[in-house]
A and B are shown apart, each in its own frame.
Chain A
Amino acid sequence: MRVPNAKKHAELPNPLSVPPTVIDPYRRTRLPLAAIATGLKTTLKVFFRKPVTYEYPEVRRPIAERYRGRIGLELDLCIGCTLCAQACPNGTCFMVDFKFEKTPEMNAKFPNKKDKMPAVDTARCIYCSLCEEVCPTGAIHMTPEYELSRTRKDQVYLPVLLQKTESEIDAMDPAEVAKMLAEGQRLITANDKVRI
């Protein structure tokens, strides 16, 4: 078999004849004072800088303009087209029967003929914002709400709750909220059976 670069290889020195250029690290004893001084200078510079920590409960980071928090709903704009429920990748968003009296002009502009509106399981939502993208009227949207930790188990928000902010929900009668969330949990369980 012919080796194309055989001649070129033959011109290279035999690797065994090359003296090793690497100095055995175990035989060197150095004191890198200059490097230590550089390091000390760097750390001291950082020492006098302002801390970057946000002391969270008291101080909050500014939220980005397009932050994707909990899903919210404008009841006036929803036309019950079910696109959000169809776009939702994991059945977080599903349609429930919900009658909402709109003003005549809004009803003419955004008619919700079947009285259907989306409900959302905030515990299941992956914040992908696909529902917001497909919504033709901009009724369903991502709010900047991110403090969603609750001690309650049910997290399925019916349209009534979806239109409110978290602080508004906290101000409501807890028993009433719990009842609504439990109802939402019942509905999503039923919906999951159909979906599967």
Chain B
Amino acid sequence: MGAIEDFIDGKVLDPTFAALGLGNAPYELSQTIFWGIASGVLFTIVLSTGGLFTLVFRRLFAFFTQRIGPNRVGPFGLFQLIADGLKLVSKEDIIPRAASKTLFRVAPYLAITPFVMAWAPIPFSNDLILTNIGVGIIFVLAISALSPLAEITAGWASNNKYAIYGGVRAAALDFSYEIPMVISVVGVIMLAGSMSTIDIVNMQKGCLEFAASGACARHGMWFVFPQIIGAFIFFAAALAKAGLVPTDLPEAESELVAGYSTEYSGMRFGFFYVVLFAQVFFISALITTLYLGGWLGPFGSPSEWYFKPLGDGALWFTVKTLLICFVIFWLWLTLPRVRMDQYLNFAWKVLFPLSLLNLVVAAIVRGFVLG
């Protein structure tokens, strides 16, 4: 890490600037370069995971229906996503004549940008985090609340009745599920006493870990145990917000063709598609961070179990996240789609009261068990 810290401090660029007779390199320049590269890496990882998940989903879909799935292109069909990407790029880029052309072009970027931004405070491990801001979890929720903007924009700009219905549905779902989701997260914030994602994970450290350091000060545990209701609410709401089965109402293909992405073709469609699958990874990462102890081993296992090369516990984080991803895909391939009114009822009549109840549970646990 020494070289990286030197670079951030400007020590690497200084000689170059001195040679040019400009004195010391400006602090902002090193900062910009470093964080630009770091964000680019995160951006690439997150979106290529989305791309990979399109393939993983197809393979899992095949296994869940006793088939084999795409396994011809490269080992295990891994290059299939390259073939798919090439196909999408080489397709004709059609913009409907009656569409609002600027908005139509902007919408895919509106979908992809907030999604990638929301990854900034997600900790892969204690060290592997882009930025540990104090209000990390609020930042995540606020940024991901921007997602209906893209959906409505895409739906409206397409000038297509199916697209606008899809956009409106996406907005209705997002607005309804935002509330139980945020309230369930408040439970976690109360237990952790912090909004920083790093602190939230550290607060889930078990007794074993403190015992290793000689002092068993407090009984931490994964927040999924005191917050089982909250975890359930968060999971259901996150699925609805991302528009995944059983709540893929914004793009219910049997009713709305493809919802807000009906008129999109080629790589513009690819953006929406990749973001949809990358959302699976994002939801899983959030649930892991909030409820399953992030990079911590199961039940506060000693840190010798961590896989060092990936940083402390990034392996645990990945394993847990992928497990949740599997559960999401499993649900996806099992459940039929719910009706719109059923799901809005579910949000307001079940999840909203439950989330308030969960808040009470969190307060009691905080006051009498952890306190």
Q: How far is the CA of A43 from the CA of B62 in the complex (A)?
A: 12
Q: How far is the CA of A180 from the CA of B335 in the complex (A)?
A: 59
Asked if A39 and B350 make an inter-chain contact with CB atoms under 8 angstroms apart, the answer reads no
**Interfacial chain B residues near A36, Cβ < 8 Å:** 334-335
Asked if B334 and A39 make an inter-chain contact with CB atoms under 8 angstroms apart, the answer reads yes
Instruction: Kindly identify which residue among B66, B335, B341 contacts A49, using a CB–CB cutoff of 8 Å.
Output: B66
Asked if B63 and A51 make an inter-chain contact with CB atoms under 8 angstroms apart, the answer reads yes
CB-CB nearest in chain A for B62: A51
Asked if A53 and B349 make an inter-chain contact with CB atoms under 8 angstroms apart, the answer reads no
Q: Is B346 an interface residue (CB 8 A)?
A: yes
Instruction: Kindly identify which residue among B68, B330, B345 contacts A29, using a CB–CB cutoff of 8 Å.
Output: B345
**Interfacial chain A residues near B349, Cβ < 8 Å:** 29
Q: Is A31 an interface residue (CB 8 A)?
A: yes
Asked if A26 and B67 make an inter-chain contact with CB atoms under 8 angstroms apart, the answer reads no
Q: Is A44 an interface residue (CB 8 A)?
A: yes
Minimum CB–CB distance from A86 to chain B (whole Å) comes to 46
Q: Is A11 an interface residue (CB 8 A)?
A: no
Q: Is B13 an interface residue (CB 8 A)?
A: no
Pick from B62, B66, B67 the residue with the most CB of A within 10 Å: B66
Q: Is B64 an interface residue (CB 8 A)?
A: yes
Q: Is A16 an interface residue (CB 8 A)?
A: no
For the A-B complex, the count of residue pairs with Cβ-Cβ distances under 8 Å equals 40
Instruction: Kindly identify which residue among A31, A43, A53 contacts B333, using a CB–CB cutoff of 8 Å.
Output: A43
Q: Is B342 an interface residue (CB 8 A)?
A: yes
Asked if A40 and B330 make an inter-chain contact with CB atoms under 8 angstroms apart, the answer reads yes
Minimum CB–CB distance from B64 to chain A (whole Å) comes to 5
**Interfacial chain A residues near B68, Cβ < 8 Å:** 51, 53, 55
**Interfacial chain A residues near B66, Cβ < 8 Å:** 46, 49-53
Interface range on chain A (Cβ under 8 Å from partner): 10 to 19
Chain B at the A interface: mostly helix, strand, loop or mixed?
A: helix
Q: How far is the CA of A44 from the CA of B66 in the complex (A)?
A: 11
Given contacts A51-B62, A51-B63, A51-B66, contact A43 B334 (CB under 8 A): yes
Minimum CB–CB distance from A47 to chain B (whole Å) comes to 5
Q: Is B331 an interface residue (CB 8 A)?
A: yes
CB-CB nearest in chain B for A37: B334
**Interfacial chain B residues near A53, Cβ < 8 Å:** 66-68
**Interfacial chain A residues near B341, Cβ < 8 Å:** 26
CB-CB nearest in chain A for B342: A29
Q: Is B65 an interface residue (CB 8 A)?
A: yes
Given contacts A26-B341, A49-B66, A53-B68, contact A43 B346 (CB under 8 A): no
Given contacts A46-B65, A46-B66, A55-B68, contact A40 B331 (CB under 8 A): yes
Asked if B335 and A52 make an inter-chain contact with CB atoms under 8 angstroms apart, the answer reads no
**Interfacial chain A residues near B62, Cβ < 8 Å:** 51
Given contacts A29-B350, A51-B68, contact A39 B63 (CB under 8 A): no
Q: How far is the CA of A36 from the CA of B66 in the complex (A)?
A: 20
Q: Mark B313-330, 1 if CB is under 8 A from A, else 0.
A: 000000000000000001
Minimum CB–CB distance from A23 to chain B (whole Å) comes to 14
Asked if A51 and B331 make an inter-chain contact with CB atoms under 8 angstroms apart, the answer reads no
Asked if B67 and A51 make an inter-chain contact with CB atoms under 8 angstroms apart, the answer reads yes
**Interfacial chain A residues near B331, Cβ < 8 Å:** 40
Give the top 7 A-B pairs by smallest Cβ distance, nearest first.
A29-B345, A43-B334, A53-B68, A39-B334, A29-B349, A51-B68, A52-B66
Q: List 19 A-B contacts (CB under 8 A).
A: A26-B341, A29-B345, A36-B335, A40-B330, A43-B64, A43-B330, A43-B333, A43-B334, A44-B330, A46-B65, A46-B66, A49-B66, A51-B62, A51-B66, A51-B67, A51-B68, A53-B66, A53-B67, A53-B68
Given contacts A40-B334, A42-B334, A53-B66, 18 further A-B contacts (CB under 8 A): A29-B350, A31-B346, A31-B350, A36-B334, A39-B335, A40-B330, A43-B330, A43-B333, A43-B334, A46-B65, A47-B330, A49-B66, A50-B66, A51-B62, A51-B68, A52-B66, A52-B67, A55-B68
